[in-house]
Amino acid sequence: MNILRTIPEVRAAVHAARHERKTVGLVPTMGAFHEGHLSLMRRAREQNDLVVVSLFVNPTQFGANEDLGAYPRDEARDAALAEAEGVDILFAPAASEIYPDGFATNIHVAGLTDVLDGAARGPRHFDGVATVVTKLFGIVRPDVAYFGQKDAQQVLVVRRVVRDLDLDVRIEACPIVREADGLAMSSRNVYLDADARAQATALNRALDAAASVCEAGERDADSILSAAQRVLAEAGITPEYLELRDASTLETVTRVENDALLAVAARVGAARLIDNHTLKASA
């Protein structure tokens, strides 16, 4: 595996692979790898000749009061894990490589970013995501880019950028990887002490409870949400949001007639965690 720091190096490596008619898969990450990240790398490895993983803690997607400074960083460990998955190139640029002096462009996806994490974290979060992902697509020019359904709204935002800007890349969303007790894997789980770690399992249990109610035939959004709310309350968690929205438009739903995204965000101990389930209308 090659660890590359500069855009010209990545372009040259990808250009050489393309010359040999190789397909290129990209996995954008912020590092602190866990099985969720590795599942994306495995999928990319299965489907492509050249696998590029980007490791960049993107400062522009963090709010002023968020955890940019504390975000876990261990490049040597990440590099070993990526190499073990058969990744070809780890692109780990400095911030100045991505945002040189004079950088002035911002990609804003209207509408989709007004709700859920866009509302909770502010519009600049998804602007930061959309802009850096578009840059990574321009640098690597992958055939396929892999994202986790863990960040369901991010997947929708990236798909919309690709559609609206006619980017020639296929977006593949991969399932949420969970710990044995159901907690969605996250780089931020390292912030949880033992008590918070136990409390955090309530997020997935709450989503499961709501999904069971839906599977039993309930279609009313408030009734479905109440089932989740009860589990959170029992665990002493007040969610930042707990919402049921159309799985493709993120419009609010009062009845589950189409696939719906049940999404939660909550502060648990020192971490801000998110999780979601997709409720199938046909279930």
Q: How many angstroms separate the CA atoms of 192 and 198, rounded? A: 9
Choice among 15, 37, 108, 125 that is catalytic: 37
> Please, which residue, 174 or 242, has the CB nearer to ligand AMP?
174
Q: How many angstroms separate the CA atoms of 196 and 222, rounded? A: 27
Residue nearest to ligand AMP (CB): 148
Our answer to whether residue 37 is catalytic in this structure is yes
Which residues, in sequence order, are bridge partners of residue 268?
271
For residue 44, give every residue at least 6 positions away whose Cβ sits within 8 Å of its Cβ, in sequence order, or none: 25, 26, 27, 51, 53, 87, 144, 146
Q: How many angstroms separate the CA atoms of 104 and 106, rounded? A: 7
What is the smallest separation between the CB atom of 34 and ligand AMP, expressed in angstroms? 7
- 93 backbone dihedrals φ, ψ, rounded to 5°: -80, 160
Q: Would you report the helix, strand and coil content of the chain in percent, each value rounded to 5?
A: 45, 20, 35
What is the smallest separation between the CB atom of 271 and ligand AMP, expressed in angstroms? 13
> Please, which residue, 40 or 213, has the CB nearer to ligand AMP?
40
What is the smallest separation between the CB atom of 145 and ligand AMP, expressed in angstroms? 9
> Please, which residue, 184 or 262, has the CB nearer to ligand AMP?
184
> Please, which residue, 40 or 92, has the CB nearer to ligand AMP?
40
Contact predicate 158/128, CB 8 Å: no
- 40 backbone dihedrals φ, ψ, rounded to 5°: -70, -40
What is the smallest separation between the CB atom of 35 and ligand AMP, expressed in angstroms? 7
201 C-beta neighbours (distance < 10 Å), count: 17
Q: How many angstroms separate the CA atoms of 69 and 62, rounded? A: 10
> Please, which residue, 87 or 224, has the CB nearer to ligand AMP?
87
What is the smallest separation between the CB atom of 141 and ligand AMP, expressed in angstroms? 19
Binding-site ranges for ligand AMP (CB under 6 A) = 29-30, 36-37, 39-40, 147-148, 150-151, 174, 176-177, 184-187
Q: Mind telling me the catalytic residues?
A: 37
